[in-house]
Amino acid sequence: MTELTMAQRRRDSIDRAEKRLKRRRRAEARFRLYGLLAVATALGFLAVLISMIVVNSIPAFTQTVIGLEVDFDPETIDPNGNADPSVLARADYGGLIKAALRETFPEVTGRKEKRLLYSLVTNGAQYDLAKKVTADTALIGTRQKVWVAASDRADQLYSRIDRDDVATRGDDETLLGWLRELQRKGDIVSRFNTTFFTSGDSREPEQAGILGAIVGSGLTLLVTFLCSFPLGVLAALYLEEFAPKSRWTNLIEVNINNLAAVPSIIFGLLGLAVFLNFFGMPRSAPLVGGLVLSLMTLPTIIIAARAALKAVPPSIREAALALGASPLQVAVHHTLPLAAPGILTGTIIGMAGALGETAPLLMIGMVAFIVDIPAAVTDPAAVLPVQIYLWADSPERGFAAKTNAAILVLLGFLILMNLLAVLLRRRFERRW
């Protein structure tokens, strides 16, 4: 009887253990399922977001152009006949384009209708015509078919011209009639919008581009790298290899860690107070923007560099010291090269974070409307995040597609920088 009772107890204990094990395995399976669902949900939201950005940015990568038979009247362009560049630049090219439009639609006679007809073409077309004539004076006195960019309003109407649900307002129905006539003649087409990548900002959506913002971002990141990378690496090298453990070094380490978590707008306020108000540096310049971003990036680089230096095995240092190397030679010739992959990875990630910053740059005035492409770090410039902010705040409908396209370009740069960090880490990383 006792043996049966003991055997029953063992079986009951085994059954209870198996039940607990099954519950534990089911809980683990549910936890894995919850994790997979969370990852799938996050990827789904990310895919939807990127898809919306891509779809909304498509109009920014196309441009509608209109073919006009332009009569390059020598009396209008070069009345003196000596092809003086200053005279050619001041000629009334807008009048030539208007004459070509009136010739294309001779039935338009009223003043109001003419103003509406002229709105088919962007007001920047006259400058494109001036560049053509200045580059090739042989055009003077000839009649050529010239393709000029359509206005933003005409571009949006033409993109929906084949749809049955085109919503019209005001004079849109008249514009649509002219656009359909141009389409019938083959004098209007959509092309890849090279202007978006080759020009600076503009008040007109069809003329706006991101080249100025890309160059400004490049110059700003260059200043940021030149200021933060050497200082960050040297500071990390000193704190990790040479600084004695004391109350002061502990205070410095705590402050560095705290600075890495400070909101970026605080660095903008610091740059406004120090670089602009105290030192009087130029506003909206990559030099000031780079200095502010270097202050923000410096703690990140120091922390990443210290972690990379700490990952080098002590045996490397001990072996170098045993062979007669000085502490400086050990740090520069052995420890630093072995830690370089981690340092570069942390630096690139920090620079990628700086590329996407907007708040500190707004505080130092890099929100100005800049048309020209910057040629130096002291020239006024915009950067990609600020350019996106400006376009998103513009009331013109054409800037909505430009905003999404600029976001795609910025995301592309960020992805490339992070991919470069991953490749460098995999290429040069050593496992100890």
pLDDT digits (tens, 9 = 90+) for 358-373: 889 988 888 888 888 9
3-class secondary structure, 410: helix
Name the amino acid, one letter, at 138.
Answer: A
Instruction: Sheet with 62-71: list strands edge to edge.
Output: 143-149, 62-71, 188-192
Answer for the pair 408, 390: CB distance below 8 angstroms, yes or no. no
Helix (H) or strand (E) holding 71: strand 62-71
Residues of the chain with pLDDT under 50: none
Using CB atoms within 10 A of its CB, is residue 214 exposed (0-12), middle (13-18) or buried (19+)?
buried
Domain boundaries, the chain: 2-58, 60-199, 211-428
Q: What is the pTM of this model?
A: 0.86
Q: Where are the beta strands (DSSP E) in 27-152?
A: 62-71, 143-149
Residue 244 structure tokens: 């004695």
Tell me what pLDDT residue 69 has.
Answer: 92
Answer for the pair 83, 112: CB distance below 8 angstroms, yes or no. no
Give the pLDDT confidence of 340-354 residue by residue, as tens digits: 888 988 899 899 989
Nearest Cα to Cα of residue 210 among 219, 197, 227: 197
Nearest Cα to Cα of residue 146 among 70, 235, 224: 70
Residue 85 Cα distances to 82, 135, 137, angstroms: 9, 10, 10
**Any bridge partners for residue 147, and if so which?**
67
Tell me what pLDDT residue 12 has.
Answer: 74
Tell me what pLDDT residue 2 has.
Answer: 63
Nearest Cα to Cα of residue 64 among 115, 118, 121: 121
CATH superfamily of 211-428: MetI-like (1.10.3720.10)
Which residues does 312 contact at the CB level (< 8 Å), separation at least 6?
Answer: 334, 335, 338, 339, 432
